Amino acid sequence: MSTDLFIRNVRPLGIDLVDIHVSNGRIGDIGPGLKPPTLDAEKIDGSGRLVFPGLIDAHAHLDKSLLGLGWQRNEVGPALRDKIDNERRMRVERDIDFHQQTTRVARRYIEYGTTHIRSFVDIDTDIGLKAFEGLMRTRQDLRDQVTIQVVAFPQSGMLCRPGTVDLMEDALRNGAELVGGLDPSTIDRDPARHLDEVFRMAEHFDVDIDIHLHEPGDLGAFSVELIAERVRAVDWRGRVTISHAFCLGGIDEGYLQQLIELLLENDIAIMSHGPSGTGTIPPVERLYRAGVRMCTGNDGIRDAWGPLNMPDMLLRAFLLAYRNNFRRDEQIEMVLDIVTNGNARVMKLDKYGIAPGMPADLVIVDGETHVEAVIERPPRWLVIRNGNVVARDGTLVDQSDPQDPASGP
Amino acid sequence: MSTDLFIRNVRPLGIDLVDIHVSNGRIGDIGPGLKPPTLDAEKIDGSGRLVFPGLIDAHAHLDKSLLGLGWQRNEVGPALRDKIDNERRMRVERDIDFHQQTTRVARRYIEYGTTHIRSFVDIDTDIGLKAFEGLMRTRQDLRDQVTIQVVAFPQSGMLCRPGTVDLMEDALRNGAELVGGLDPSTIDRDPARHLDEVFRMAEHFDVDIDIHLHEPGDLGAFSVELIAERVRAVDWRGRVTISHAFCLGGIDEGYLQQLIELLLENDIAIMSHGPSGTGTIPPVERLYRAGVRMCTGNDGIRDAWGPLNMPDMLLRAFLLAYRNNFRRDEQIEMVLDIVTNGNARVMKLDKYGIAPGMPADLVIVDGETHVEAVIERPPRWLVIRNGNVVARDGTLVDQSDPQDPASGP
């Protein structure tokens, strides 16, 4: 149970100093110079610090993380297929404990102020549902601290590995909330059938879709068209995200404009995380200003694919700005809108934000402005989830490790 | 005067646990299980932490920083000329105190473990030598904590603003150690004469050269050719750096190979810092493996050009890796070699590195491996400069502010 909180002197984005009253896990009054509540309430003086709504990662792979297993020297080859095959082999050889690994990385996410995560979970004919089951346990264990939305994801291919669809359906029957797809041409070698299968599962289980599309230029753009055709056919408007969508940065101006119209007509969201490298990336500002729903996330954290990502959505905001050369404050504020409201819309969080009646998910940090916090990325002074303080100064309040019964609060 | 130090249990890159004896500001013995010195020495237990040689920034603009002046809302236009003109105007209007600003940013650099900086300083007919004079005072004030190499830099153009060359010569007579150049075609509109003038000053004052080349594709490549022709003509081999060199990522394979050979023949170094944005960037790994001397730096920190950079060379190593999609450990170790040894070579630091007889410039941090430290970027546990501890836990030991006589140690 949460106690009431009275948080004084904090600054939401675009608003002057306010006090926030939190009651029964929800935000009550907000405003300058509020009267302290008469009932017992924990008083917190924010001393002019910044407050963000709970940070959201709308594109994570919690099951992939190797955090805490000792430094993993990365020597994997450059091709996507090398990375996929290397990871699948390694997991079986090392007998990865997915409950342990997803817990480790999720706890670190919470320390960085994350209250909601959309996580893909790999399903293939080698590991079966082990990763899914581990993640589902973690989702349950940590439900008071972070909400995890689970996507059944065919990382190693779907049609090209018979049996994968059956496993995905098992996951969808047992709690997976979305169905994923992956590079319908370059991985499954049969774009129409791959997408038909994904949409068939989506209709059958009445779930949203998130398709990872790394395919470049005109090939990727063709996949966008095929996705849009299926969205229209079954009226899955507002229920599909295309992740990465590198192709949108690699086609000519006229075709890009056509695809933007397709995305808008079919209310398809685009996920971009400002990826590493020099390849083409979606034109984030253009898509956002055109009204395309945009979201972002960290992708894999310290996994077999590489070490570059961290479970910090302020770092992600910085990297999205860096890769897009967003230097103006209004551009970095747009990125913050994507990290918070954009991600909330994609995850269908009806109740989100710093406003009366919303769940009290708040992150308080030092800083002059919210944009400066993206640049300096200070430790999270306080992370509040449903009115409970879950982390202070970048460290979890509850240090008990569900992996280790000997630990405890 | 430095006391002797006996540092136990630290790990240099690629070496197991060692002890390090520091005497008279220099590294003495290094090795596992050294005997503690018999003389008085401060004993430091590194507890297995990582040790780096002093970090180096080989491309900084200390005079541009607006750190400490309150958050600067950035609304500058996208073109290079907009940024240059906006900055020059702002400095005059706001009457920037360059001694104060260069001190502020240099002190933060030291807290991040930086022991050497090559800083450009803008010289133009509006601010004259004010920025230069401020930076020279800071260089003198902080000489025991950080070595600053000063480059006379015509940020607003040279030929296109008559009087600039005279000011640059004044700076070179009064302590500037290098001469800079800038986009000879797109800024000065006369590439041959711009470069002739830069090389004339270099010969006259017997100084090295650092030319900022943002020009794209074939235009920038033509500038590289013109620079190489002049290096050969006056035998300035080993004395020229081309900074940014975006063009090297924007030409075809055959021409790139020709230019690499030109760079090698004329021993021209390339500076790349993994810039923000989606433009072309030099192929860092290819150049490095071909034997081209590579260096890197942070460019401007929180200035009128934008807020994205920070005075942390581990963050710079991360960004250089991120922009080049370096995920393998050997690639990130290459980046660390550039940040340390590459930058030292370009700055002509004959004595550099963790070895007997070298100046005791050491940075000690928590971490599993040096590559992990690039990803996690922990606070600098200890920064040692010429055998003196200058910062602990990310904070300067000497908190006296040369700007403020009331402060003091």
Q: Are A74 and B328 inside 8 Å of each other by CB?
A: yes
Closest Cα of chain B to A55: distance in Å? 20
* pLDDT tens digits, B285-341: 999 999 999 999 999 999 999 999 999 999 999 999 999 999 999 999 999 999 999
Q: Are A74 and B324 inside 8 Å of each other by CB?
A: no
d(CA A385, CA A25): 8
Say what angle helices B313-324 and A313-324 make with each other, to 10 degrees.
Answer: 60
pLDDT, position A33: 93
What are the φ/ψ torsions at residue B349 (nearest 5 degrees)?
-85, 100
d(CA B124, CA B131): 10
Give chain B's contact residues with A (Cβ, < 8 Å). 70-71, 73-76, 249, 276-281, 302, 305-308, 310, 318-319, 321-330, 332, 368-369, 371-372, 375-376
Q: Which of B325, B330, B334, B370 to mutate to test the interface with A (most CBs of A within 10 A)?
A: B325
d(CA A48, CA A43): 14
pLDDT, position A405: 46
Q: Are B330 and A276 inside 8 Å of each other by CB?
A: no
- Mode of pairing for the β-strands spanning B114-122 and B55-60: parallel
Contacts of A327 in chain B (CB under 8 A): 74, 76, 276, 305-308
Per domain, the residue ranges of chain A are: 5-53+354-394, 55-346
Closest Cα of chain A to B304: distance in Å? 10
pLDDT, position A403: 55
Q: Label residue B277 exposed, middle or buried (CB < 10 Å: 0-12, 13-18, 19+).
A: middle
pLDDT, position B2: 62
Contacts of B279 in chain A (CB under 8 A): 325
DSSP, res B236? -
Dump the DSSP string for B361-400: -EEEE--SSHHHHHHH----SEEEETTEEEEETTEES---
- A220-234, A322-336, B81-95, B207-221: least confidently modelled range: B81-95
Residue positions counted in chain A: 409
How many CB pairs below 8 Å do chains A and B form together? 97
Mean per-residue pLDDT for B159-169? 97
Strand-pair partners of B295 = B271
For the cut 60, the answer to whether the pLDDT of residue B409 exceeds it is no
Closest Cα of chain A to B193: distance in Å? 32
Nearest to A278 among B71, B325, B330 (CB): B325
Contacts of A302 in chain B (CB under 8 A): 375
Superfamily of domain A5-53+354-394: Urease, subunit C, domain 1 (2.30.40.10)
Yes or no: domain B5-53+353-396 corresponds to CATH 3.30.360.10: no
- Each residue's pLDDT, cut to its tens digit, for chain A (409 residues) gives 567 999 999 999 999 999 999 999 999 999 999 998 877 899 999 999 999 999 999 999 999 999 999 998 998 888 888 889 999 999 989 999 999 999 999 999 999 999 999 999 999 999 999 999 999 999 999 999 999 999 999 999 999 999 999 999 999 999 999 999 999 999 999 999 999 999 999 999 999 999 999 999 999 999 999 999 999 999 999 999 999 999 999 999 999 999 999 999 999 999 999 999 999 999 999 999 999 999 999 999 999 999 999 999 999 999 999 999 999 999 999 999 999 999 999 999 999 999 999 999 999 999 999 999 999 999 999 999 999 999 999 999 988 765 554 444 3
Q: For residues B32 and B17, is the Cβ–Cβ distance under 8 A?
A: yes
CATH architecture of B55-346: Alpha-Beta Barrel (3.20)
Q: Are A325 and B368 inside 8 Å of each other by CB?
A: no
Q: For residues B131 and B123, is the Cβ–Cβ distance under 8 A?
A: yes
Nearest to B308 among A305, A306, A322 (CB): A322
**How many helices (H) and strands (E) would you count in chain A?**
12, 16
d(CA B360, CA B182): 35
**How many helices (H) and strands (E) would you count in chain B?**
12, 16
Q: For residues B267 and B277, is the Cβ–Cβ distance under 8 A?
A: no
* Distance set, CA A135 to CA A110, A146, A163 (Å): 16, 13, 21
Q: For residues A376 and B311, is the Cβ–Cβ distance under 8 A?
A: no
Q: Could you tell me which of A179, A176, A171 has the C-alpha nearest to residue A230?
A: A179
Q: Could you tell me which of A34, A96, A27 has the C-alpha nearest to residue A63?
A: A96
Give chain A's contact residues with B (Cβ, < 8 Å). 70-71, 73-76, 249, 276-281, 302, 305-308, 310, 318-319, 321-325, 327-330, 332, 368-369, 371-372, 375-376
Contacts of A70 in chain B (CB under 8 A): 368
Nearest to B310 among A305, A369, A375 (CB): A375
**pTM check: above 0.95:** yes
Closest Cα of chain A to B352: distance in Å? 27
* Distance set, CA A116 to CA A147, A311, A360, A409 (Å): 5, 12, 13, 23
Mean per-residue pLDDT for B218-234? 98
What are the φ/ψ torsions at residue A352 (nearest 5 degrees)?
-155, 140
Q: For residues A179 and A187, is the Cβ–Cβ distance under 8 A?
A: no
What does the buried/exposed string (b/e) look like for B231-269 if buried means 16 or more CB atoms within 10 Å of the residue's CB? beeeebeebbbbbbbbbbbbbeeeebeebbebbeebebb
* pLDDT tens digits, B99-144: 999 999 999 999 999 999 999 999 999 999 999 999 999 999 999 9
* pLDDT tens digits, B237-277: 999 999 999 999 999 999 999 999 999 999 999 999 999 99
Strand-pair partners of B385 = B388
Q: Give the three-state DSSP class for B64.
A: helix
Nearest to B74 among A319, A324, A329 (CB): A329
Q: Are A327 and B321 inside 8 Å of each other by CB?
A: no
Contacts of A329 in chain B (CB under 8 A): 73-75
* Distance set, CA A325 to CA A343, B78, B275 (Å): 21, 10, 9
